[in-house]
Amino acid sequence: MALKDITLGQYFPGKTIIHRLDPRTKLLGTVAYIVALFLASHVVTYAILLVVLAVLIAISKVGLQSILRGMRPVLIIIAITAVLNLFYTPGEGEPLASFWVFTIYAEGIWAAVFMILRIAMLITCTFLLTYTTSPIMLTDGLEKLLSPLKAVHVPIHELAMMMSIALRFIPTLIEETDKIMSAQKARGADFDSGNLIQKAKALVPLLVPLFISAFRRADELAVAMECRCYHGGAGRTRLRQLRLGGIDVAALLLSVGLCVGIGVLGHYGW
């Protein structure tokens, strides 16, 4: 097992329009899409949202396969929600089927289908965000978007910095884990067999060096930051200036349009 194969942060580098959008646009767009998703309640509106999502996936060139692969861990949640909706949605007409304490109404089937679609689309659109935006860009965008909160003394810059450092070190720590694991395996350590207690014990030779190295790295990073006169967010300028271009404005307008449109359609019973 190679830990390297785990996709974390899940960013797939690319040069499509979606990749090039400002992270703030993408964040707001995702929020707008999710809101629209919750406003939708009719086949027509769901169909519109599904088409929009399909178009976005096609433009981003992410590939359906990687999205489906990312979906795997949440399959159980989707399944449970669908089953619960199926059995516990009360209906007005004749029950379609009934056994023991369970009764299934036509409404239940609809509710289950919509719920599956809703969760799947919700996850897919957030995937699209993380697949096309590098984690650093994402935190930059978040920091910018949340910066008004600084007025009420929420340490936005510090939180964003902590987040970028954490994200920055995930691959490093994974690599380190991989290396230490190999080194201990080379000395005959066995991480895969034995019962739970033996497995937990086998982790000691992995965790001790990993923690030590994490603390060492934190120390070194703190010194390096201090050497370069880091003193918090006040008055700091950025290397990558985020700028909203025409394409961002267009994308934002489209998102708002989608949101409002779905809302209006919903109002007229669609």
Partner 1 sequence: MEPIIQTERLSHIYSAGTPFEHGALVDVDFTAYRGEYLGIIGHTGSGKSTLIQHLNGLLKPTSGKVLFEGKDIWETKERTRQIRFQVGLVFQYPEYQLFEETVYKDIAFGPGNMGLDPAEIDRRVRQAAQFVGLKEETLAKSPFELSGGQKRRVAIAGVIAMEPSVLILDEPTAGLDPVGVESILGNIHDYHVAKNATIIIVSHSMEEMARTVDRIVVVNDGKIPFSGTPREVFAHGDQLEQMGLGVPAMTRVFHRLKSLGVDIDPSVYTIEQARDAILTKLGKGAV
Least distance between partner 1 and beta carbon 178 (Å): 10
Q: Which DSSP category does 117 fall into?
A: H
Choice from 4, 20, 199, 201 touching partner 1 (CB under 8 A): 4
Name which position in 43, 149, 165, 212 contacts partner 1 (CB under 8 A). 212
Closest to partner 1 by CB, 114 vs 191, is 191
Rule CB under 8 A: which of 83-102 touch partner 1?
A: none
In this structure, what is the dihedral angle of CA atoms 192, 194, 195, 199, given to the nearest 10 degrees?
-50
| Structure tokens that stand for 176 in this block | 């380190």
Site mask, partner 1, residues 160-179, x = CB under 8 A? Answer: -------------------x
C-beta separation of 31 from 150 below 8 A: no
Within 8 A by CB and 6+ apart from 113, the residues are: 82
Q: How far is the CB of 184 from partner 1 (least distance, A)?
A: 6
Stretch that binds partner 1, among 16-24, 41-49, 77-85, 203-211 (CB under 8 A): 203-211
User: Residues 84, 159, 174, 189: which binds partner 1 (CB under 8 A)?
Assistant: 189
Of the ranges 51-59, 100-108, 166-174, 207-215, which one interacts with partner 1 (CB under 8 A)?
Answer: 207-215
Kindly state whether residue 67 participates in binding partner 1, applying the rule CB under 8 A.
no
Give the C-alpha separation, 19 to 129, whole Å. Answer: 9
Q: Helices 106-132 and 64-71 sit at what angle, rounded to 10 degrees? A: 120
Within a 13 Å sphere around the CA of 164, how many CA atoms are in the beta-carbon half?
15
Nearer to partner 1, 52 or 180 (CB): 180
Give one word for 63, left, alpha or beta, with left for phi > 0 and alpha for psi -120 to 50.
left
- How many CA atoms are closer than 13 Å to the CA of 123, on its beta-carbon side? 17
Candidate list 91, 171, 209, 261; residue touching partner 1; CB under 8 A: 209
Q: Which H or E run includes 134?
A: none
CA atoms of 139 and 133, how far apart (whole Å): 10
Nearest distance from C-beta of residue 100 to partner 1, angstroms: 45
Closest CB to partner 1 among residues 41, 213: 213
Contact residues toward partner 1 (CB under 8 A) are 2, 4-5, 7, 12-13, 179-180, 182-190, 204-205, 208-209, 212-213
